[in-house]
Amino acid sequence: MQNHSDIILNKAILLILLVVILNVIILIIKISIYLMTMSIAAFAYLLDTIMDMQNDIISLFGLRKARTPPDKEHPYGHAKYDAFAATIIAVFIIAITLEMTIGTFTRIFEGVYQVSFDPSLIIIFSILMVIYSLIAIVQNRFAMKYGILTIESTALHYITDPLFTLLVFIGILLASMKFWWVDFLVSVIIILIVLKKAISIIKKTSRILLDAAVINEQELRESILHAFKGKVIDCEDICSRTDGTKVFLEMILKMNKNLSLEESDKIAHEVEEFIRKKYKHLKFEKIIIHQEPY
């Protein structure tokens, strides 16, 4: 029988899977818009959807992997795979945006920057705004009800998508009326947003892939020495890392050499509980505390 947390996790996975399917439909619609208009803003808007799909797929992968226990070949789990994949996709997106920017300036200098407008675009953009609004509302309510941060973070992004949809529509409309610079301006805005997303993903994943410290060593050391004054003499070699979801921590506690093994184990257990409470916002997978006599 599934426990309550597994049921909520399954619901979250189904919700993200539904959003991924909707994004596939949205992507097809946006490709059609670009082919109808040849608008650079529409193409940039299409890239934004690819980034959304990447984030949703990574979230889906992360939630599924959260239930996969470590094995002999992967004692620290498998969660780094999504960080590796996210880095590759983010670099790919940056390359596309740079190529698109060069192509945009080429069209401007060659004087072939033309945007077409069809009345059916009014209906198409209205459908997009409705879909984005529904995604944002459903995800936000789900996050508020069950407190899943992955859903909450994606919901915050989708809230802004109806506004971007309207912005792109206005840009295409005005560009078709010979105000080509509006389409160019909208495309620049979206490109900058997409680049910001891609760069932020690379910054985040690089810390995961390079095993950057999650917890400030000096801060934790001072906290332990203050909380366990008289029990712990010193705290050394504090090492922390994350796989993107779970945190691993190791350290050495220097204790009085006259303490028995049972007494030192009891103190180490108290230190572990202290750390879990102090950093309750982190999901600790493993805390290893070595004890050495001082």
Do 45 and 182 sit in the same domain of this protein? Answer: yes
* Confidence class for position 276, pLDDT limits 50, 70, 90: very high
Residues 6+ apart with CB under 8 A from 206: 87, 212
Do 114 and 248 sit in the same domain of this protein? Answer: no
3-state SS class at 260: coil
Mean pLDDT confidence for 48-73: 71
Mean pLDDT confidence for 19-38: 89
Gap between the Cα atoms of 53 and 92, Å rounded: 14
Do 158 and 132 sit in the same domain of this protein? Answer: yes
Lookup result for tokens 């797929």: 57
Kindly report the backbone phi and psi dihedral angles of residue 71, in degrees, each rounded to the nearest multiple of 5, phi listed first: -125, -175
Gap between the Cα atoms of 85 and 79, Å rounded: 11
Taking 60 as the threshold, does the pLDDT of residue 4 lie above it? no
Q: Which residues of 184-202 are buried (b: 16+ CB within 10 A; e: fewer)?
A: bbbbebbbebbbebbeebb
CATH classification of the domain holding 257? 3.30.70.1350
Q: Which of 174, 209, 244 finishes a domain?
A: 209
Gap between the Cα atoms of 32 and 269, Å rounded: 60
Counted domains in the chain: 2
Helices (H), the chain: 4-37, 40-65, 80-110, 120-146, 149-176, 180-209, 217-227, 261-278
125-157 pLDDT, tens digit per residue, is 999 999 888 888 887 787 777 655 556 666 666
Give the H or E element holding residue 291: strand 284-293
Both tokens assigned to 110? 């060659």
Chain centroid to CA 151: 10
CATH classification of the domain holding 133? 1.20.1510
191-226 pLDDT, tens digit per residue, is 787 788 778 878 888 888 888 888 989 999 999 988
Do 202 and 91 sit in the same domain of this protein? Answer: yes
Gap between the Cα atoms of 270 and 280, Å rounded: 15
pTM (whole model) above 0.75:
no
Closest CA to 288 of 75, 122, 117, 39: 75
Do 38 and 160 sit in the same domain of this protein? Answer: yes
Do 144 and 228 sit in the same domain of this protein? Answer: no
Query: pLDDT at position 146, please?
Result: 67
* Confidence class for position 274, pLDDT limits 50, 70, 90: very high
Do 18 and 157 sit in the same domain of this protein? Answer: yes
Domain that holds residue 199: 4-209
Cα–Cα distance list, 262 to 23, 35, 255, 286 (Å): 57, 73, 12, 21
Gap between the Cα atoms of 198 and 90, Å rounded: 5
Q: Which of 161, 188, 209 finishes a domain?
A: 209
Q: Which of 209, 234, 249 finishes a domain?
A: 209
Do 201 and 232 sit in the same domain of this protein? Answer: no
Do 132 and 270 sit in the same domain of this protein? Answer: no
Closest CA to 68 of 55, 56, 57, 81: 81
Do 166 and 285 sit in the same domain of this protein? Answer: no
Average pLDDT, the chain: 80
